[in-house]
Structure formats: C-alpha cells, structure tokens
Structure 1
C-alpha cells in the first residue's frame, strides 16, 4: 500500500524539486528515489534517463524538458503546470537533471509556487562536474595548483541575452563549462587570448554522457580545442562537459603513462 505525505492544514499539494543526478540511474539520492516512489505526478527533464522513470510506475509522467535547438516547453508554461498540479495532487515531483539549483531555472519555479501559496522543497542531486571529476579520478582542486573552480554555461533564455553578448572570462583556476559544445572553439580561443590563468598548453578534458554506459572522453589542450579539433568528435545526441585547468594535468599524465606501459608490454611480448 502506497502512502503519501499530507498536510491537513493546506489542501494544496507539495512540490519537490528533485535532482536526478548526472545521468546514471543509481546516482539519484535515496531521498529523491523515495519521493519518486510516492509521487502522484512527475514532471521530468529531457535529459533524465528513461530507466529512472521506472522508479515511479504509479505516477503520471509528463516530459517538460528543454533541448537546445528543439521544440520544448516554455518556462512559464512549466511553472503553470506545477501550480495546477498542486491543486489536484498531494505529491508532485519536478525531476531535474543534475542538481536543481545549478543551471536548472529552479528559482523561477520556486517563486511561482510560493506566489501561489504552494509548499516546495528542494532535494539536491549530484551535478555533472562532480560526477565528471569522479569519472576521470581527478579532483577539480589541487593543492598548490588550483584553489578555485567555476561552473559556467553560455546557454541562456533568449529573453535574457542581448545579441552579440560576449563570453565573460571567469578567473577561477579550474573551469567547467556546461552546454558549451557549439561554443567550444570560441571559448578556448578567448581563454588563450584573455585569461591570465589559462594558456595554449592548458589541459582540457571533455566528457560526454557522464556516468552512463555511453560516456566518452576527449583529452587534449586549449590550443587543440581552439583549432576545432573536438568539433568532429562531439556526439550531438549526448550532453557534453568541458573541463579546463592545470589540476587536470595529473590525470592526463597518468593516462599517458598507462598507454606507454601497455605499448612497452606489447613490444616485449612481440620480442
């Protein structure tokens, strides 16, 4: 028998903004998974793995995700649907990729819900940058090398961006760009030209489909990225994460050493 939390003093339902994590189904938090099991209705992003929806077979499931260059739900429409759902259901889950509070437009949904007198709770999730660092087994900070990290996206709603708006230059030691695929070469060029912390030989690692079975890794330098060398590598169907900084050099060195060891081993066997 399924039970759902209720509020006897408020006939309206409660909305939970739940982080789905970076992609892998088993990286959602225990709290998030339990809420999916209790949900009456789930509004989910386009990047949420369909297998994760198996955690809420009892719920009505509605896709409201956004994909760059594709038909998607307007944010105001999503806000209204959440408010409307709280008039009919007790447990409403808004399932967002990664963490709801990072590049997820959670503020707009929270404000719309509060304005309607609807209780809302945020359940954090693992953001892609941290899952990416775990995947390559390299910290984004490194003693004596990197004491700061910036998470950046160039993607903005068209209502908030002026035509020809330039890319700002973050001053952090390690930079992680979300949704930067189409601007990858331009990002690298501008960093080489203008950033005091980055140069042409700065390590770059690009991860696609982080934490999933489809995960792919591209390792190079800012100079190679600026030259467009990653453009043909990208898979347009998968989200990409661009990580830049000296802290990543350790993992690149280790990867290179491992490759050389395998080559030496093969030569010895052949000999």
Structure 2
C-alpha cells in the first residue's frame, strides 16, 4: 500500500479550537536547507506559502526567508553560538500557543529539521498537548558542503560510512563522545558547530590514532554569498579555523575520502575553494 505524502494536503483549511477541546491548529517542522533558496524542497516551499505564521532559526538563509509571503507572520527564534534569543522551552511554548489558536504553523530550521535541530523536543511537546505535527526533511549542510566542494562523503574502498556529530556542548561541559569510534580511518566524520572545539577535536582524534595529515574540509556559510570552503589537514585544523570569523557557522568534514577527491581536483591543502560551488545552474 502506498503511503500518502501528508504535504499533498498541507494546511488544507483554516481551523480553530474545536468543541470538546480538540486542537484545530497544525505544525510542520520544516528543513530549510543550508541557505540557498535553490536547495529548499518543493514541499518546504508549499508549506511556507500556506502558513499563517513561520517561526524561523538564525541559520535560515535570507533567500529562503524571502519566499515567505508578506501576509504570513514571521517570528525569529534564532539561536547561534553564544547568542540565544529564545530558550528552547520558550520556543516550544510559542509553537504550542500558535497551534492552540488554530493557526497553521511552520517551524523553519536550517539544514534538515532532524539533524541537530532539537526537533524531537518540539515534536514531543506538541504531541503531548494533542497537536498534529509533521516533519518535512531538508538538505543537511554536510551534503551541501561536499557537493559544492566537489568531494564525496563516501568513497569505495576508502570510506564505507559517515558519522554525523555535533561539537557543541553546554557551558562548562566537556565533549562526551566515543573518540575511538570517531577516529575510524574508514569513515568520514562530519562535525557540526565545531569551530570552538577545533583544538580538542585535533587532540582527541590524534590521540586515538588518526593521522595528523588526515584531510579536512572546513566549510563556512555553506551555499551563501560569503561561503568559504577550505581544504586543510587535521594537525592544522585549529590554525585554519582560527582565521575565520568567530560567529561563522562552521562545519568540518574529516577523512580520507575528502582528500582523495581533493587530490583528483588538484586542490592544494589550505586552498580556499569557495568558487567551486558558486556557479548558478544554467
């Protein structure tokens, strides 16, 4: 039996709180991709245009925000490293209040909604109060960065798997990760929000046996006008990210697959290859 895509009937009608206390509102958790509006899905665009209110993150690109019709209310609930405009509990309550009012709600998140976006917390909070919630996937930044740099996350005979981790920890907390597993030479390691943790990443991965000359791609503001894609190596990682703006969203791809593809393209270590993905499609 074919399962019907719920987005085909996304927000089919305006509703309100019904008699008996059932909820008339509806919420979609939507992945906005890495920033370029060309990388947003058709499903996501339909939902944005049909919404009553859009709660959006700081990492949602300006081109994506421009797709929101003027009549749709916009609420910024963005959080960036060191600057939090709304605690997560407050965001949960805002989403719930809008749904309880019978509104069609889009929660717009950078990248993919389920990749380090805390979507599970929002979904659980809303479902606990009887709100209908759906998730629309998006292009995650690691995939976009690899594509724009001309590298592969996997490579036959070199990288059999990809490990996605976040290097963001709460204030005062150490990075609690399985460093031995992350240092696997047959995998590609994708590190989100890793700028501040670069020195520890280098130290812990090398302590577990990862070679200092392991190739690394450092990607900043992926798919946006100020994008930077830098090839470096693990032992030079802190120096590379130290030259970047402190508030720049930074992703790192670490592993031999990154280097093999870079070698094919004859891209030297430390080179800025931002122009590699800058061409517009036809």
Range of TM-score over shorter length? 0.7 to 0.9
* Cα distance between partner residues in 1 of 2:72 and 2:170: 30
Equivalent of 2:246 in 236, 239, 242: 236
Contact conserved, 1:180 with 1:242, CA < 8 A, in 2? yes
Counterpart CA distance in 1 for 2:188 and 2:268 is 24
| 1:38-53 equivalence runs, <5 A | 38-53=50-65
Q: Deviations over 1:45-68 (max 9, x none)?
A: 011123322222221100011111
What SS does the aligned partner of 1:182 have?
coil
Question: Deviation of residue 171 (structure 1)?
Answer: 5.0
Contact 2:36 2:63 in 1 (8 A): no
Cα drift, residue 167 of structure 1: 4.4
Count of residue correspondences: 250
Q: Relative to structure 1, is the Cα distance of residues 58 and 257 closer, same or farther in structure 2, using a 3 angstrom cutoff?
A: closer
Looking at structure 1, the residues matched to 109 and 175 of structure 2 have their Cα atoms a distance apart, in angstroms, of 28
Instruction: Extract structure 1 runs of 4+ deviating beyond 4 A.
Output: 7-11
Q: Find the counterpart in structure 1 of residue 12 from structure 2.
A: 5
Is the Cα contact below 8 Å between 2:34 and 2:139 reproduced in 1? Answer: yes
Q: Which structure 1 segments of 5+ residues have no match?
A: 260-271
Q: Which piece of structure 1 moves more, 178-187 or 231-240?
A: 231-240
Task: Return the alpha-carbon distance in structure 2 between the equivalents of residues 82 and 145 of structure 1.
Answer: 44
Q: In the aligned structure 2, how far is the partner of 1:190 from the partner of 1:11? A: 49
Instruction: Give the aligned partner of residue 28 of structure 1.
Output: 40
1:76 aligns with 2:85: no
Q: Once structures 1 and 2 are overlaid, which stretch shifts more, 163-172 or 127-136?
A: 163-172
Alignment check: 8 A CA contact 2:23 2:102 kept: no
For residues 127-149 of structure 1, give each alpha carbon's deviation from its aligned partner in whole angstroms, at most 9, with x where no partner exists. Answer: 00000111111111100110011
Alignment CA distance shift 1:93-1:157 (3 Å): farther
Residues 114 and 242 from structure 1, CA distance in 2 versus in 1: closer, same or farther, beyond 3 angstroms? same
Q: What does 1:212-251 align with in structure 2 at a 5 Å threshold? A: 212-225=224-237, 228-251=238-261
- List alignment gaps of at least 5 residues for structure 2: 1-9, 270-282
